[in-house]
A = this chain, B = another copy of it.
Amino acid sequence: MTIPTTRRQFLQAVGVSGGAGVLYGTMGALGLAPAAQAAPPFRAPNRSDFTLTGRSAKSVLVLGAGIAGLATAYELGKAGYRVRILEARDRPGGRNWTVRGGTTETDLDGRTQRAHFADGQYLNAGPARIAQHMVTLDYCRELGVPIEIFGNQNADAYYVNENAGALSGRQIRHREAKADVYGYVSELLAKATDQGALDTYLTGEDKERLLEFLRGFGAIGGRVADDPAASWRYAGTNRRGYLVEPGAGFEAGTPKLTPYPLTDVLASGIGRYFSFEFGYDQAMLMFQPVGGMDRIAYALEAAVGRRLVTYGAQVRSISNTGSGVSVVYDGPGGRPRTATADFCVCTIPPQVLAKIPSNLTQPVRDALAYPVPNATGKIGLQYRRRWWEQDENIYSGITNTNLDLATIWYPSYGYHGAKGVVVGYYNFGANAQAYAALTPAEREARAVAQGVKIHGEAYRTELETSFSVAWDRTRHSEGGWVSWPSRTSGQYGRLLEPDGRVYFAGDHLSHYIAWQAGAFESARKVVTDLHARVMSS
């Protein structure tokens, strides 16, 4: 029994050893309402599982050194499984990919880019943020990967929408937008409440408490006797920021008090961005490894053992042989090599795996063809000067826009440094496909032309170099992540079970798709399933 180190593990451990009644009672003591039964906690295989039962550790061939593959090998290795990883790329991590100066990549269209970022500058081309509750942080802790806060939200970043009424194209700080929207929402709800429109739903005491809350929440005025229209007025607040900062002496500052008109704020659509910040997976605080997301991949690689990973080993065929698995892959010089093992854990993305010859069953092949790859892309723009900090007082965070950029990310590292890498777009779907269709130079030109609308000419004149990734055009990935049209139509479930001695793992086989947490959780499930099979045989 491993010692539980997180609350979740603790609850699960209690649930397993003491039954549901104890689990629910413990949850109650921790302030949680009893509800569903947690699954058994993950328990890494242990060497004693073999030594105490007289069994011998099996060999496992892992296909793919992304997070799922590395985590699978890492956990199996704890028990002494003889693991080996084949990886088509020349680095670990898969979509966990940190682009630095010197990174070179040729995409599916034959376009080669070489990154010219300065020392210390990087772009997390794939995953870039970790929520506090995700198992990914537990692995950072276990592997000794230092973390720091990722600025997923910043009151001083902007919302900029085009074709959205009177505020089209306006740089609106998050703090301004929230002050105005919360102000108007509070004014309107206070008016309706005070006028009795909600008496069906609120007691007199509720109403007074709600009005008190709204006064603070919206920074609105109070009741004006005999004047409903003048009551509970939102007339701006210094939460919006200052035109002239408060300072010394008699400089009280000049707040940007005047709110945007209600009609314009509603027409602008900026309020639509707010709920992103409340999401279970996106609410601050979020984290990132210090020095780049691939610190996790390299820490896993080191924990597995570098010598157990074969890079440049693109898989050419996969065969269940009855007593094991046989995999043909590209060896040095492209010559075919064969690797065999008792079992295989395949983490190759389904849309890639579907094209690899194999004797996998037809239902499995059908299942691999079922999920839909998603287009997504990013560009890293290296600037010679951190103008967002120096000129605009924006230290990390994200600007949201309905321009095709979707988002601009200011770096959450290297504050006050000489240079910085801004994520010039991180977009999806049609926007991502439009950028993917361009050459890297064209992507840069388009991203800069759009970004200038938000940040002015510094966005162009301070630029030094860029590197872009279109995941649907990236070899060995062919998509950012997949979507399942249905999880209950059979295909998803088919891949949760092994096909002979071949198991499947990856974020696509979890409810954390597009998150490293999904890859880790999937790896844990496969390790658990495989180990149970070995221990019962």
Taking the closest CB of chain B, its distance from the CB of A55, in whole angstroms, is: 25
A192 with B203: in contact, given A243-B27, A256-B32, A391-B10 (CB under 8 Å)?
Answer: no
The reply to whether A156 and B285 contact each other, CB–CB distance below 8 Å, is yes
Binary B-proximity of A493-533 (CB < 8 A = 1, otherwise 0): 10010000000000001111000001001101110000000
Chain B binder among A264-272, A425-433, A469-477: A264-272
Of the candidate stretches A44-52, A108-116, A246-254, A330-338, the one touching chain B is A246-254
Q: Is the CB of B140 within 8 A of A416?
A: yes
Q: Which of B5, B179, B278 contacts A390 (CB 8 A)?
A: B5
Contacts of A254 in B (CB 8 A): 35-36
For A510, the closest partner residue in chain B by CB is B248
Complex interface: chain B residues within 8 A of A278 (CB): 155, 175, 178-179, 182, 219, 239
A258 within 8 A of B: yes
| Partner pick for A244 among B38, B182, B216, B390, CB 8 A cutoff | B38
Which residues on the B side are within 8 Å of A144 (C-beta)?
416
B248-A213 in contact (CB<8A): no
Inter-chain contact A247/B198, CB cutoff 8 Å? no
* Chain B residues closer than 8 Å to A214, beta-carbon distance: 185
Chain B CB within 10 Å, residue with most, of A153, A239, A280: A280
A274 x B217 contact (CB < 8 A): yes
A400 within 8 A of partner (CB): no
Q: How many angstroms from the CA of A247 to the CA of B511 in the assembled complex? A: 5
**Contact code string A429-465 (vs B, CB < 8 Å = 1, else 0):** 0000000000000000000000000001000000000
Nearest chain B CB to A205 CB, angstrom units = 8
Closest chain-B Cβ to A172's Cβ sits at a distance in Å of 8
Q: Verify A511–B251 contact, CB threshold 8 A.
A: yes
The closest CB in chain B to the CB of A415 belongs to B147
Q: What copy number does this chain have within its complex? A: 2
A518 touching B6 by the CB < 8 A rule? no
With a CB–CB cut-off of 8 A, which chain B residues contact A171?
A: 30-31
**A170 → chain B, closest Cβ, in Å?**
6
Say yes or no for A90: interface residue by CB 8 A criterion. Answer: no
User: How many residues belonging to A are interface residues under a CB distance threshold of 8 Å?
Assistant: 124
Whether A493 pairs with B132 at a CB distance below 8 angstroms is no
Are the C-beta atoms of B496 and A249 separated by less than 8 Å? Answer: yes
Determine the chain B residues whose CB is within 8 A of the CB of A198 once the complex forms. 188, 191-192, 197
Give Cα distance in the complex from A140 to B179, angstroms. 29
Mark each residue of chain A from 144 to 176: 1 if its CB lies under 8 Å from any CB of chain B, else 0: 101111010111100000000000001100010
Complexed CA–CA distance, A400 and B402 (Å): 36
Seed contacts A36-B254, A141-B389, A191-B201; 15 additional CB < 8 Å A-B pairs: A39-B247, A144-B416, A147-B415, A148-B148, A148-B415, A149-B396, A149-B412, A188-B189, A189-B189, A191-B198, A205-B267, A206-B263, A216-B272, A217-B271, A253-B511
- What are 26 A-B contacts with C-beta separation under 8 Å? A7-B393, A38-B244, A132-B156, A133-B393, A141-B416, A149-B396, A153-B284, A175-B283, A185-B214, A188-B192, A191-B198, A192-B192, A205-B266, A205-B267, A212-B272, A217-B274, A219-B278, A246-B512, A247-B510, A247-B511, A248-B522, A248-B526, A249-B496, A252-B511, A255-B280, A285-B395
Q: Which residues of A contact B (CB under 8 A)?
A: 5-8, 10, 27, 29-33, 35-39, 132-133, 137, 140-141, 144, 146-149, 151, 153-156, 170-171, 175, 178-179, 181-182, 185, 188-189, 191-193, 195, 197-198, 200-203, 205-206, 209-210, 212-214, 216-217, 219, 229, 238-256, 258, 262-263, 266-267, 269, 271-272, 274-275, 278-280, 283-285, 287, 389-397, 412, 415-416, 456, 487, 493, 496, 509-512, 518, 521-522, 524-526
